[in-house]
Structure 1
Amino acid sequence: MQEKSSQHETHLRDWKRSPFVIPDIHLKFELDEKETLVTSRMQVKAAPDRKPEEVLTLIGEEIELISLSINDKQLDKSAFSEKDGELTIAPPSSEFTLEIKTKVCPEKNLKLSGLYKSGNILCTQNEAEGFRRITYFIDRPDIMSRYNVEISADKAKYPYLLSNGNLIESGNLEGGRHYTKWQDPFPKPCYLFALVAGDFGLIEDHYITHSGRKIDLKIYCDRGNESKCLHAMSSLKRAMKWDEEVFGLEYDLDLFMIVAVLSFNFGAMENKGLNIFNANAILVDEKTATDENFMRVERVVAHEYFHNWTGNRVTLRDWFQLTLKEGLTVFRDQDFTQDMHNKGVQRIEDVQYVRRYQFPEDSGPTSHPIKPTSYIKIDNFYTTTIYYKGAEVIRMIKTLLGDALFRKGMDTYFELYDGKAVTTEDFLHAMELAYGQSLKQFSRWYARSGTPVVKAQVTFEDGAAILEVEQKSCEEKGLEPLCFPLAVGFIDKEGKPLSVICESASRVSDKTAVLKVSKAKEKFVFKNIPVGAHASVNRHFSAPIILERELRKEERLFLMQHDIDSFNRWDAAYELYAGCLLEMVEDLKKNKPLIVDKHLLEGIQKALDDHQLDPAFLALMLSLPGEGEIGERQRVIDIEEIHAAREFLKREIGEVFYTRFKEKWQELTESGSSGTDTKAIGQRKLKNICLAYMVATQREEAFEIAHRQFKEAKNMTDQLSALDLLTNYANPFREEALAAFYREWKKEPLVITKWFAVQAGSQIASLQEKVGELLKDPVYDEKVPNNVRALLGTFLQNQYHFHDASGKGYQLISREIIRLDQINPHVAASIALGFKKYARVDDKRQALMRGSLEAILKAPNLSPNVFEIASKCLSNK
């Protein structure tokens, strides 16, 4: 049976309860990579409100139906119908046993959805709609069943046979085969079902819960990679401890397993008790993985573990509620990471991600609310909006309620809805019970797309500061005002934080007032604030808004030096950089000579002189906005001018502070900490940004220093940072370094993706041709999503080269999208998002991009995934 070719749109308004439920299911898998037989035996019951005329409809996709029986009586073809993937059966009674036998071919399943082959293992990925590629089922998240699973396979080829829950039986069979039986006592939707079969390396540990229960922990990986799982194991144990201490949530099974898989569409999957991970989110050591990789493993392991309660025990009624589990769980993994490391630095990095990726999504052709109302393919809604804006919405609730009431709300949520499939309204209801106030106005965040623009202005009158807040975007669009928290503080002329007294504040702590903004225009009065004090607005990024304030450069410089809030201190520096870059862009368009603003240089000087700054924080303070971030501030993006201005600014900063950067680099090279603790990671961040500014001068000495670091590096962070810098410019060491890295790491799939990425992100000439050559490299495998994301995904982020005026970047990517769509539509659609700036480029580029998008839309057998993205990009004018 083939996948539907029509581009059908699913609407939230059409959701109805299923007329049937499946409380129990027994699955039997006779595994083979070429041909796997699946027997599904289901207990089917009519829902209490089922209408007599409603039939049982099951969904299947690219599977072969072998037989069908009800109450052990095989049905002939006249008793059911099968069309376009829908199997329709007239039920004989309100309760019956349905057995379905199907056949699937794992090795031919290149979409990596359902049951497929990855390397020498067989595994499943069922979120969002993969289970229908295994057997016919009511494939929707509110159908929650208890699963009993029996797996058999060749013992030599697949010595480990894993599934959800607890292992209850295993043994040998004739013909060199063996079997295992698994039982999961907790009802779950089919998207959380998992199966893995293969020959693995294994590390084991255990965790003792607060109640004294022993949980066995197992991580499976390719043999020889066991030592690379140690960080993931320690991260898992920290996450389990944190969830007990912060949320009172204890793991509920006796066994928790993780399997690392090389070919995987996502970062990881939270299947109950058996998490399946992309290998790049598990396997790390200092030799082969960067500090960023280590941090990602810790966060992703925690994220998937936290899903055990926020996603598994309490799950989704329908896919429109996706942010209910993903936004909430991202919020939880962010708080976990902040508690494990430097809280201020982590919050800044989280905000950077939102601004860099989610804000552009909010203003582009695929803009959608965190609770969308329709979709063509739900796969396309695993977005930064659902995850990261969703997390910011949860954080606003916590800020409004305060820590104690938010925890009470979470406790209420689990008490009310454990074991149920629920909605965002249910979550808000639990929070309202704790808050004692209505969140109806706040709920508008769930239904509204776009990033709110808020104007803030401070004036002084009669010994008080008056903060005027205007929800500008709501006023302009005629929308009802949103409700959100706004954290505000003041600093006097000498740089000292002031106590704040505001009668209308929800609360005050750490010399910061939390205001509840709920009107289109609103005023807040702060008593005893002297004239000339500096206001610090939206501390901690208390609301995901674009904040408009008319601040002079001197004021930003002051906040950059004195604000007690880490986020706003960094943000002042960021805005200073961004403002100067935009001024340079305008100067270039007017053919005026470029100069570096004195305030910017003064800010950098003072930051370098402040020996109290944490190295990781100083590295952030020294980091320029990316070209894409500057482009987001323009209606029509000036591709060439932004690139030229940023390269000029990097070079000039490097020249002015070359000696300071060299001294700091030398100091951190000689005395910096080793290992992957927070301190060592921060020191390497600072060391490598100093080196980046040095190399930006293109001095011969700087290239020599970078080359020396590349050769002598004792960890991947330093080696890759140096390679990245050498790759970015024409220099005597560039080709030698790339060749050396390739020779050393070409047999390490996760490391070689870094080699692809540094080249795809380079600023050298004719990069489009180079990327085309890399697509033909023997180590590049387009069937492995990690390779595609590293090479093509990085190239898409390279604004200057992807949007080259020749159109070669567009042509290259459109060709690859059409090819990839026949292999893996999910990955192809993610690459198609590269065209989302269609409406923001100049007319010439629009014409070139339009030609590429039209070519994609005319491709034969185009998937719904790619159609949805490409058509939205093209229609966004």
Structure 2
Amino acid sequence: MTEQQAPNVIYLADYQPPTHWIDETHLDVDIKPNATRVTARLKIRPNEARGEQTLVLDGENLDTRRVCWNDRALAPADYTIEGSQLILTGISEPGWLTTEVVIDPENNTALEGLYRSRTMYCTQCEAEGFRKITWYLDRPDVMSVFTTRIEADKTTCPVLLSNGNLVEAGEVGSGRHFAAWHDPHKKPSYLFALVAGELACVRDAYTTASGRKVAIEVFVEPKDLDKCDHAIDSLKRAMRWDETVYGREYDLDIYMIVAVDDFNMGAMENKGLNIFNTSCVLANPKTTTDVGFQRVEAVVAHEYFHNWSGNRVTCRDWFQLSLKEGFTVYRDAQFSADMNSATVKRIEDVNLLRTAQFKEDAGPLAHPVRPPSFIEISNFYTLTVYEKGAEVVRMLATLLGPEDFRRATDLYFERHDGQAVTCDDFVQAMEDVSGRDFTQFKLWYSQAGTPEVAVAAHYDENAQQYRLRFSQSCPPTPEADTKAPFHIPVRIALLGDAGQLPLQLKGHTPDDLPADNTEMMLELTEAEQEFTFTGVKEAPVPSLLRGFSAPVNLRYEYTEAELVRLLTGDTDLFNRWSASQELAVSAVKGALQTFDAEHDFAGAITPGDAWVAALAANLEHPELDPAVMAYMLQLPSVSYLHDRLPQADILALHKIREALVAALGRALAVPLSAKLKAYDISQPYAVNAEAVAQRSLSNTALLMLARAGDAEALAQAVRRYQGANNMTDQLAALKAIVAAHPEPVVQAHLNAFYAQWADEALVVNQWLTLQASRDVPQALDDVQALTEHACFSWTNPNKVRALVAGFASQNPGQFHRADGRGYHWLADVIIRLNQANPQLASRLVTPLAQWRKFGERGALMREALARINGQPLSKDVYEVVAKALA
């Protein structure tokens, strides 16, 4: 695509309300192979505020057969079809527009609109997929009441589903039948859903707090009927939690979930009919790991919570995407923290931020939580919009406190029920309840980049005063070189020899402080601020940014002794974990000074004695959550290390990290072996916080000891693989075997694992990822060979993500090989998928987009991007590649 052919850029500043409204939408979908007929009857009303008579509808790949206005058929001269627009003039009064189009779901490989997936037809309309079904005002601020009639062959499509409540069903002759659904709640077209196919159903029910009974139905392929119970239990827990924590009840008679194998996203919150990627709904102990169980619980909750934070109150335009996604990610994180370990959940979320979102913020694809422009909105379903957006909501909750935040969300839901609104409307509710001015805080929505907060400390022993000086800055990003100061909440405590010290802030009276004055929240609003604490009787160790109270890069020059103090004595378990991560970074930094890529230096890397002693003490702590301990033992990813040590060669970091894992395993062999022996793999499987924590720590110990070459651990890995009664333990044992056993043993176990689970697609996906992430010289050849394997399909996003993204994102040692073959192959894949599935292709560009940070290798990455750029590109891929090369 040449520069002259570059797609149009859409700007937030250009937003205008629609020229017309659609009050009612009546769809008749007649499903036939390769020729599905969609008749749409729309009740159109001009928007008096606009005063325009020209109606422009959106549509893509529609074979238009008929257009009528108030039941009068229009001649081709009465309307215009220009590319993706249907243009009608003279629409100055309310009336009914009818269109009839034919579409081909069977050949819809983009998986947007209506498409075929294995045994069913299904839809994905967010963000702009509805226009691939029929002509429409396909934008989120046009909200309509939908009635949908579906007709199909009864043998191939015995199940017919859409949004809302079933109002009619019956036979139509010739082996066909129909079902009609009505959704009484206004919604934008992106929330429309339709499913028709061969599906089995698991049914349950839920009684709301007000006593209303809601039917629950989960539709899956018949082979997956034994994998639905966890999703149903998760849904009922989420429904009860939302009633308790936010006062929100479900509003329809039925809640349906459909599991789809071919799906670009994780799941979709379509009103009353959620369509899920199979990976986010199916769970069984034999085939699903603990991580998989927790993901199902979180995603089911997330999509359910959208019923209010996204459906009942939706976004006015796609620039406001974080209004619904950031808020709902925050809500599902709260839920997961309440259902499981709050500390582990916080560690997992921050790990994702630090290793992936911060990288996004620091590269050419950086954008604010509310982006100012886009070419293709699908490219903005990003970690910035979702995860950083959730952190913005978390900061608001922190600043307001739980009671005012609940009052503010109540006001937001009540004030805007049935409306399409903006991020400003959300913050306005916070201001109206608290009486605070959040004008500066809203810079989090409009400024890109990760703020850096540098802290300097000084203790005056004579005055018994402790001074903290904060300075904040934010690096340049594509939209702006300079940034105004952010409003940043920073939770702190001061650690003394005997624990946390009482806090008395100079200039404040005791009445200003909370009852428990050993922790305090400071608010940074200026480029530089200083806080002085009085009555500090000993030189303290500051515990800063407790609970990761803001998404910032914290810079404080901790000594090793101070980090060890935090690791062993901080009551904030998140900061204990963070201290261990900093000690790991320090160890890697020290190893870099003597690194020699040409020699085996593994035996020369030794973790500091104080760090090892602190980890050993935590391992033996009787009350420390084992799951938190497991995370303390896990080193930062290579990606995170590369961000922290940007001048280091990526392969050097990878080799040092691998050697450090082995060194830690050797240094902690005694306590790790004790944890390994204490775990009974024959105990019945349970999905609860305690059982998950025990498995997590035991399997972490197994992998560390295996990497260290521990003979008993190597034997234990084989025994655990053979004796495991659940997928968590079996897969963990297989990973240990793959990481440390000789190649013949590895291949034998990989082959046996596939033979055992060949009929379980989600398990096979993990098998693909495990091989894609192997740091062996033939890894790329193995990955390319696996694309020809019977289990792989280029049209299935789950398979592509498992294998291709698994290699590019989880195998730094081979993806970044010196000859550039990894980059070249990824470019081939992106070019192949560009037209077939643009959304999937554009997401695969990300590993190449950071080329400027890779020194000499960066030139090879840029060459791969330039080769992609030389192809005829979809809007999705064009936008990402153009930004990466700019």
The within-5 A match list for 1:373-772 is 373-461=372-460, 462-473=463-474, 478-494=482-498, 496-502=499-505, 508=514, 510=516, 511-588=518-595, 594-669=605-680, 674-729=685-740, 731=742, 732-772=744-784
Amino acid of the residue matched to residue 39 of structure 2? Answer: T
Q: Name the CA distance, whole Å, in 1 between partners of 2:565 and 2:864.
A: 48
| Change beyond 3 A, Cα 1:276–1:114 | same
Q: Which residue of 1 aligns with 2:797?
A: 785
- In the TM superposition, what whole-angstrom CA distance separates every residue of 1:453-482 from its partner, at most 9, and x where no partner exists? 001122223223222111133799643211
Alignment of 1:818 onto 2:831:
yes
Q: Which residue of 1 aligns with 2:806?
A: 794
SS in 2 for 1:416: helix
Contact 1:487/1:515 (<8 A) preserved: yes
Contact 2:164/2:271 (<8 A) preserved: yes
Contact 2:620/2:671 (<8 A) preserved: no
TM-score by length of 1: 0.97
- In the TM superposition, what whole-angstrom CA distance separates every residue of 1:191-230 from its partner, at most 9, and x where no partner exists? 0000001121111111111111111111100113122010
| Change beyond 3 A, Cα 1:482–1:748 | same
Contact 1:72/1:97 (<8 A) preserved: yes
Contact 1:637/1:840 (<8 A) preserved: no
Q: Could you tell me how far 1:504 is from its partner in structure 2? A: 5.7
Contact 1:458/1:468 (<8 A) preserved: yes
Amino acid of the residue matched to residue 144 of structure 1? Answer: M
Q: Could you tell me how far 1:294 is from its partner in structure 2? A: 0.1
Q: Could you tell me how far 1:350 is from its partner in structure 2? A: 1.3
Q: Which residue of 2 aligns with 1:41?
A: 41
| Change beyond 3 A, Cα 1:159–1:673 | closer
Q: Name the CA distance, whole Å, in 1 between partners of 2:71 and 2:91.
A: 13
The within-5 A match list for 1:319-398 is 319-398=318-397
Which stretch has the larger CA shift, 120-129 or 651-660? 651-660
Q: Name the CA distance, whole Å, in 2 between partners of 1:857 and 1:874.
A: 9
SS in 2 for 1:669: coil
- In the TM superposition, what whole-angstrom CA distance separates every residue of 1:730-785 from its partner, at most 9, and x where no partner exists? 51420110000111111211110011000111112221111111111111011110
Q: Could you tell me how far 1:662 is from its partner in structure 2? A: 2.2
Q: Which residue of 1 aligns with 2:291?
A: 292
Q: Name the CA distance, whole Å, in 2 between partners of 1:64 and 1:475.
A: 47
Contact 1:5/1:864 (<8 A) preserved: no
Q: Could you tell me how far 1:378 is from its partner in structure 2? A: 0.5
Which stretch has the larger CA shift, 134-143 or 593-602? 593-602
| Change beyond 3 A, Cα 1:6–1:132 | farther
Identity rate of aligned residues, in percent? 39
Contact 1:584/1:645 (<8 A) preserved: yes
- In the TM superposition, what whole-angstrom CA distance separates every residue of 1:37-64 from its partner, at most 9, and x where no partner exists? 0000001111012234x41001110111
Alignment of 1:834 onto 2:847:
yes
Q: Name the CA distance, whole Å, in 2 between partners of 1:163 and 1:445.
A: 38
The number of residue pairs the alignment matches comes to: 868
Contact 1:81/1:87 (<8 A) preserved: yes
Q: Name the CA distance, whole Å, in 1 between partners of 2:879 and 2:841.
A: 11
Q: Name the CA distance, whole Å, in 2 between partners of 1:847 and 1:472.
A: 30
Q: Which residue of 2 aligns with 1:61?
A: 60
Q: Name the CA distance, whole Å, in 2 between partners of 1:327 and 1:733.
A: 45
Q: Among 868, 871, 876, which residue is 2:882 paired with?
A: 871
Q: Could you tell me how far 1:410 is from its partner in structure 2? A: 0.3
SS in 2 for 1:508: coil
Q: Name the CA distance, whole Å, in 1 between partners of 2:702 and 2:515.
A: 39
Which stretch has the larger CA shift, 417-426 or 654-663? 654-663
Q: Name the CA distance, whole Å, in 1 between partners of 2:513 and 2:781.
A: 58
Q: Could you tell me how far 1:92 is from its partner in structure 2? A: 4.2
- In the TM superposition, what whole-angstrom CA distance separates every residue of 1:273-304 from its partner, at most 9, and x where no partner exists? 00000011011100001000000000000000
Q: Could you tell me how far 1:428 is from its partner in structure 2? A: 0.8
Q: Could you tell me how far 1:644 is from its partner in structure 2? A: 1.6
Q: Could you tell me how far 1:93 is from its partner in structure 2? A: 3.2
Contact 2:776/2:814 (<8 A) preserved: no
Q: Which residue of 2 aligns with 1:18?
A: 18
Q: Which residue of 1 aligns with 2:152?
A: 153
SS in 1 for 2:27: strand
- In the TM superposition, what whole-angstrom CA distance separates every residue of 1:205-259 from its partner, at most 9, and x where no partner exists? 1111111111111110011312201000000000000000000000011111000
Q: Name the CA distance, whole Å, in 2 between partners of 1:509 and 1:375.
A: 48
TM-score by length of 2: 0.96
Amino acid of the residue matched to residue 508 of structure 1? Answer: P
Q: Name the CA distance, whole Å, in 2 between partners of 1:672 and 1:650.
A: 29
SS in 2 for 1:514: strand
Q: Name the CA distance, whole Å, in 1 between partners of 2:753 and 2:515.
A: 51
SS in 2 for 1:430: helix
The within-5 A match list for 1:244-323 is 244-323=243-322
Contact 1:369/1:450 (<8 A) preserved: yes
Which stretch has the larger CA shift, 65-74 or 514-523? 514-523
Q: Could you tell me how far 1:352 is from its partner in structure 2? A: 1.1
Contact 1:432/1:439 (<8 A) preserved: yes
Q: What is the CA RMSD across the aligned residues, in angstroms?
A: 1.8
Contact 1:164/1:272 (<8 A) preserved: yes
Q: Name the CA distance, whole Å, in 2 between partners of 1:528 and 1:618.
A: 34
- In the TM superposition, what whole-angstrom CA distance separates every residue of 1:819-852 from its partner, at most 9, and x where no partner exists? 1112111111111111122010012x12211221
Which stretch has the larger CA shift, 140-149 or 669-678? 669-678
Q: Could you tell me how far 1:642 is from its partner in structure 2? A: 0.6
Gaps of at least 5 residues in structure 2 are none
SS in 2 for 1:587: coil
Amino acid of the residue matched to residue 38 of structure 2? Answer: V
Contact 1:281/1:300 (<8 A) preserved: yes
Contact 2:46/2:91 (<8 A) preserved: no
Contact 1:27/1:148 (<8 A) preserved: yes
Amino acid of the residue matched to residue 560 of structure 2? Answer: K
Gaps of at least 5 residues in structure 1 are none
Q: Could you tell me how far 1:729 is from its partner in structure 2? A: 4.1
Q: Name the CA distance, whole Å, in 1 between partners of 2:227 and 2:796.
A: 20
Q: Could you tell me how far 1:702 is from its partner in structure 2? A: 3.1
Q: Could you tell me how far 1:637 is from its partner in structure 2? A: 4.3
Q: Could you tell me how far 1:94 is from its partner in structure 2? A: 1.8
